[in-house]
Amino acid sequence: MNTSATVLVFCALAVTLVLGHHPKPMFAAAAEKCIEKTGVDLDALKTLHETGGVNADEKLKCFGACIMKGLGVMAEDGTVDVEAAKELVPSDVPDRDKIVAVIEACHHEKGANECETAHAIGMCMHKNHMNDMQN
């Protein structure tokens, strides 16, 4: 499964991960806005893929929620539009079916607020992605 397509679709959490397959202008605009809005540490973003979001601080978690909102995947009330998330995965991406399956498996994750929800989804996606890579 392509890490970039998977995690980036959600955040998410991912910042991480959609860079190569998301409409770059759309993602770049959302990322720029969210970096400014949340004050997230850029070094934390750079290592997000490596750490899988473990020990993420509130700024990083809220960055994930901001990205999800900017991409039209999360509503203002913190609910996730799974269909919108799946539509962000281009049809020509390798392993698209696996990526969509991970989105479907993780979109229901909830936290105490939108930031925690985005983080929970990102952690689920990372875990499911890593399990898939081992298979």
pLDDT per residue as tens digits for the range 58-86? 998 999 999 999 989 999 888 999 999 88
Q: In the chain, where are the structural domains located?
A: 23-133
Beta bridge partner(s), residue 94: none
What's the start-to-end Cα distance of the chain, in Å? 10
Pick 85 or 10 by higher pLDDT.
85
Residues in the chain: 135
What's domain 23-133's superfamily in CATH?
Pheromone/general odorant binding protein domain (1.10.238.20)
- Please give the model's pTM, rounded to 2 decimal places: 0.77
